[in-house]
Structure 1
Amino acid sequence: MKKVAQQIGRYKKDAFACIGLTALEVIMEILLPFITALIIDNGLEAGDLPAIYRYGALMVVMAFLSLFFGATAGKFAASASSGFAANLREAIYSNIQTFSFSNIDKFSVPGLVTRMTTDITNVQMAFMMIIRVAVRAPLNLVFSFAMCMIINVRMSLTFLIAVVFLVVVLGTIMVTTLKIFNQVFRKYDDLNASVQENISAIRVVKAFVREKFENSKFAKASDSLYDLSVKAEGLLAFNSPAMMIAVYFCIIMVSWMGAHFIVDGSLSTGDLTSLFSYIMSLLMSLMMLSMVVVMISMSMASIRRIEEVLDEVPDLHDPEDPVMEVPDGRIDFNHVDFSYKHGSGKNALTDIDLHIAAGETIGVIGGTGSGKSSLVNLICRLYDVDEGSVCVGGLDVRSYDMEALRDQVSVVLQKNTLFSGTILENLRWGDPDATREECIEACKAACADEFIDRMPDGYDTRIERGGANVSGGQKQRLCIARALLKKPKVLILDDSTSAVDTATDAKIRAAFAEKIPGTTKIIIAQRISSVESADRILVLDEGRIDGFDTHENLLKTNAIYQEIYGSQVKGGGDFDQPA
């Protein structure tokens, strides 16, 4: 709760203003039935018309004051709750930006989306009710009961029976529904996951005619959420009948006892009228409190989920005195062991001892799951090793400032991502200050200029979200150009030319040799033609080094490389080359 409450920040003043104004609103409302009793007893029954005017005018003034206090309190409540929600979203988003890949792996993307939407909305509504209704209802209850005690102590005691009854019933409902709401929010994650997966892969769904299956999967998640929601709301529905029982019990008791007291002369008609008003005010306050408890019950589940994100501490930290400059592109793996879950015993990489000189071009090849992507993720410190060390420029990557290191280690990952905006705006992710001419040069090196020039607006053509309006090969070339704009000391291409033909792939590699000769280049590929011209080729098998030599030597000595070469070249050629 503490970290969540801290996000109220500068909106504390609005929250306290709302509480104060709500208290004044309640005082005005509590005094109105008392004035009504005076009008009846001192005005109507006494036949005193001026008294009726005086008390009537006072009631009008108090009603307008109550309206003013209530409207102003509502305005402050809206400001405080909306600001609180905005601060929470910013805090969660900022913390997510500091996460390493291992931190992000703990939370599903749909789970994070639910936390920033549904969960924060629940907390926002609960906070508004706390500073508005949760202040108003208890004050109303206490003041109403105090006024009842002033009017008639014996009749006021009957309210306690109704209060005890409501507390027991509502308390039982709240405890039960809280457990159900915890499950409901987990089901929201499943529903969001189903929607996100379907929409992001809609082309695949349609290509394989799997709409019925996806509809069935979504319906299953939706029905599960429906069943739990109905169960929770069904229990909450008992609030209203329990409230009505308490209200009618009090009305009957006050009517019966009040009649006796009026006959005895110990109670006036005006006092009895006031008692009925205070009864309804008191019981409605209990009803409002039950609504607050429901909302708080829902929000407690949401608060715990929000706190999980806010409390998550990034696995990777900058050292106390970080190195701010990478000397060169040398890369050394010194007997490295790495697993995605530390201590699990399931290594993605085992005993990797590898030394690459600055400016070398290294090809990396191996089967699926052999550890190729894991290897390059360690170079730019997206993860930390379990054992051994990874050095760039002769220094352990853990001694660098992470931003400085990643500025000099440019990575084009397997999954290429473009953002909504123009081509130029996407390219300038690599260098925000890059000139148009520099962007064009980078595109020429990545062989992206040929299709950009054919676009209606050239470099000002708008890219849709996720790069939906460009092909896979075009997206890859734009991402390579973006990486080149960083002018890195190390360039990593993680299977990032898989969607381009071999002729274009060869042009890109030739441009690398010409444009960035001093940059260390690591090219992960599935096809021999992409790596055979590299200075050396690394062959990985099940997270271990199986071979590290030139293309010619590996063809003579390495069985895995021979098998890959044979299947691709002798077995019929690359996908766009003749057999």
Structure 2
Amino acid sequence: MIKLFSFLKPYAFSVTAVLVFMFFQSMAQLYLPALLADIVNRGIVNGNSRYIFHIGGLMLLVAAGSAACTVLASYLSAKASAGFGKDLRSSVFSRAESYSLHEFDQIGTASLITRTTNDINQVQQVLLLILRLMISAPMMAVGGIIMAVSTDATLSLVFVAVLPLLAAAIFLIAGRSIPLFRTMQAKLDRLNLVLRENLTGIRVIRAFNRIDHEKKRFGQANYDLTGVAIRVNRQMAAMFPLMMLVMNFTTIAILWFGSIRVDYGDMQVGNMMAFIQYSMQIMFSLVMVSIMFVMIPRAQASAVRINEVLDTVPDIKDAVQIKSTGKQKGLVEFKNVTFRYPGAEKPAIDNISFQAGPDEVTAIIGGTGAGKSTLVNLIPRFYDVDRGRILIDGVDVRELSQQSLRAKIGFVPQKAVLFTGTIADNIRFGSEGAPAEAVRQAAATAQATEFITAMKDGFDSVIAQGGANVSGGQKQRLAIARALVRRPEIYIFDDTFSALDYKTDARLRAALKEETGNSTVIIIAQRVSTVINADRILVMDNGVIAGSGNHEELLATCGVYREIVASQLSGGE
């Protein structure tokens, strides 16, 4: 957790001021019992009212100063801890944004959400506690012991028996709790995962009548988390009654032995009252320390998880020396490219070589699992190749900055993803500053104008979370419009037309031909009708290219393509 404190550098002044204010607050609290003893011994015992009012006024002044220091320290510590949490969340989010898909798969989306929210909140709360107590609690404890010994060294022997007992109890309980806190955060990850799957997959769950099954799955995850939380809280709950019991017995012992010493004349009444105040301050400080020991183990477990996110180095990094592409725009070349997913037995694609140039359409077709989507995911560097090279305008994509590389690409994924906001906002996601006319033109090319204008607010209609208020075909057309408004050099359509009817598909492809005439277009499709007019068709089978050519050439030379065509088209077609 100490490693995360580097995020406190911008708030160094506030932290320093908090420490200074807490120091003076502690000094004031330690001074008050001495003034109380002075009032009793020299004012009340002697009946000196003037002295009582004089010292009483001084006590009020000291108490007011202590209160002011407490208020200022509270404000500054809250400001510093909130800023710390804000900066840490931003840093974790930025690091997650730099991850390749491999790191997302490794850590898990649900776990990243937990680490960005719950884990950072845990650390932030403990930081606030530390700023308030890291100076005052130890100082009050140590200062209270020193003042108590100076008040009556003999009576201070009571602490010799009490303090080691309390310290042992605190360390024992905290030591047993740390592993449980780590387990609890892992159980929270599992709960978030189940909840996220349940909410995003609610249509599938209801369609297959699996609501009861999902309730049981969530109930089990919830029960596991609750069980660990109960075990932790049961241990922690034992600490505070123990502290209070020891505190009360300590007070009884002080009163017992102190009254004897007062009776024998070895101690003044005021000193015994001050001694009781110091013992309460010592005990209260130890209670505060115990609270820190309750919170710190959980925050430590959370800090480890946060550091895992910050320390994970993305597999995909920009080159030290960034190159720029040449004059040719949009030429994509695969040269003996091989890629294997982590942990897979065999490559997803193996020794792939081809070219896709501007002013032409390159289509990729093949069976499920043939490696089509994997192939196009390598172009924008969602993953890096294991062997071979992918060139854009003659430059290896690994020698381009990721930002400049992806600025050249208009990517429409297999699963259309929309964001909360208006339809216009979703289309402008491809080009933030696109004018309204460009947005309308992109929607028209994507064959989306008809359903957009039929909606109540047209382009200002709000898209629900996940695009729940539009159909699958409408989602795909909006995703296509988002890529078109970008006007990139390279278009990649990953099975984008699967949710469209044949009529809309044909109209859309005709409009795309005019809109993307000067760009490189790569289309992945399952339908032969979608790829039949492409300039070049790549037929993929088990991760390799089984054939390459136009429709007529492949019918004559590629058995895999003939099987696909025969399964979809009649002999006459």
Q: Is the 8 A contact 1:538 1:545 kept in 2?
A: yes
The correspondence of residues 404-483 of structure 1 with structure 2, limited to 5 A, is 404-483=404-483
Q: Distance in 1 between matches of 2:78 and 2:515?
A: 57
Partner of 1:12: 12
Q: Distance in 1 between matches of 2:2 and 2:352?
A: 44
Partner of 2:165: 165
The SS at the match of 1:410 is strand
The correspondence of residues 238-257 of structure 1 with structure 2, limited to 5 A, is 238-257=238-257
Structure 2 unpaired stretches of 5+: none
Partner of 2:67: 67
Instruction: Assess, with a 3 A threshold, how the Cα gap between structure 1 residues 5 and 513 changes in structure 2: closer, same or farther.
Output: same
The SS at the match of 1:301 is helix
What is the CA distance between 1:111 and its match in structure 2?
0.6
The SS at the match of 2:403 is helix
Partner of 1:230: 230
What is the CA distance between 1:87 and its match in structure 2?
0.7
Determine if the alignment matches structure 1 residue 94 to structure 2 residue 87.
Answer: no
What is the CA distance between 1:189 and its match in structure 2?
0.6
Instruction: Assess, with a 3 A threshold, how the Cα gap between structure 1 residues 279 and 2 changes in structure 2: closer, same or farther.
Output: closer
Q: Distance in 2 between matches of 1:283 and 1:2?
A: 27
Partner of 1:521: 521
Partner of 1:539: 539
Q: Distance in 1 between matches of 2:311 and 2:543?
A: 33
The correspondence of residues 120-519 of structure 1 with structure 2, limited to 5 A, is 120-325=120-325, 327-341=328-342, 346-519=346-519
What is the CA distance between 1:466 and its match in structure 2?
2.1
Q: Distance in 2 between matches of 1:316 and 1:240?
A: 50
Q: Is the 8 A contact 1:332 1:355 kept in 2?
A: yes
Q: Which moved more, 1:364-373 or 1:85-94?
A: 364-373
The SS at the match of 2:135 is helix
Partner of 1:103: 103
What is the CA distance between 1:432 and its match in structure 2?
2.2
What is the CA distance between 1:332 and its match in structure 2?
1.5
Q: Distance in 2 between matches of 1:296 and 1:10?
A: 23
Provide TM-score, normalisation by structure 2.
Answer: 0.96
The SS at the match of 2:378 is helix
Q: Distance in 2 between matches of 1:9 and 1:370?
A: 52
Q: Distance in 1 between matches of 2:272 and 2:383?
A: 74
CA deviation map 1:332-375 (0-9, x unaligned): 21111112228x65321111122233322122122222211110
What is the CA distance between 1:3 and its match in structure 2?
4.7
Q: Is the 8 A contact 2:170 2:239 kept in 1?
A: yes
The SS at the match of 2:430 is coil
* AA in 1 matched with 2:333: D
Partner of 2:77: 77
Q: Distance in 2 between matches of 1:4 and 1:324?
A: 37
Q: Is the 8 A contact 2:359 2:518 kept in 1?
A: yes
Q: Distance in 1 between matches of 2:429 and 2:234?
A: 52
Q: Is the 8 A contact 2:325 2:395 kept in 1?
A: no
Q: Distance in 1 between matches of 2:340 and 2:2?
A: 34
Q: Distance in 2 between matches of 1:420 and 1:241?
A: 50
* AA in 2 matched with 1:156: S
* AA in 1 matched with 2:504: T
Q: Is the 8 A contact 1:325 1:404 kept in 2?
A: no
Q: Is the 8 A contact 1:360 1:520 kept in 2?
A: yes
Q: Distance in 2 between matches of 1:173 and 1:372?
A: 56
Q: Which moved more, 1:481-490 or 1:221-230?
A: 481-490
Q: Distance in 2 between matches of 1:514 and 1:65?
A: 78
The SS at the match of 2:548 is strand
Q: Distance in 1 between matches of 2:214 and 2:11?
A: 44
What is the CA distance between 1:4 and its match in structure 2?
1.6
Aligned length, in residue pairs? 572
Aligned CA RMSD, in angstroms, stands at: 1.8
What is the CA distance between 1:277 and its match in structure 2?
1.2
Partner of 1:23: 23
* AA in 2 matched with 1:153: A
* AA in 2 matched with 1:355: Q
Q: Distance in 2 between matches of 1:276 and 1:466?
A: 63
The correspondence of residues 547-558 of structure 1 with structure 2, limited to 5 A, is 547-558=547-558
* AA in 1 matched with 2:386: D
What is the CA distance between 1:476 and its match in structure 2?
0.6
Q: Which moved more, 1:117-126 or 1:509-518?
A: 509-518
CA deviation map 1:287-315 (0-9, x unaligned): 11011011111100111111111112222
What is the CA distance between 1:79 and its match in structure 2?
0.5
Q: Distance in 2 between matches of 1:14 and 1:184?
A: 33
Q: Distance in 1 between matches of 2:239 and 2:106?
A: 39
Q: Is the 8 A contact 2:397 2:405 kept in 1?
A: yes
What is the CA distance between 1:248 and its match in structure 2?
3.2
Q: Is the 8 A contact 2:325 2:393 kept in 1?
A: no
Identity %: 38
Q: Distance in 2 between matches of 1:370 and 1:167?
A: 64
Q: Is the 8 A contact 1:329 1:359 kept in 2?
A: no
What is the CA distance between 1:560 and its match in structure 2?
2.6
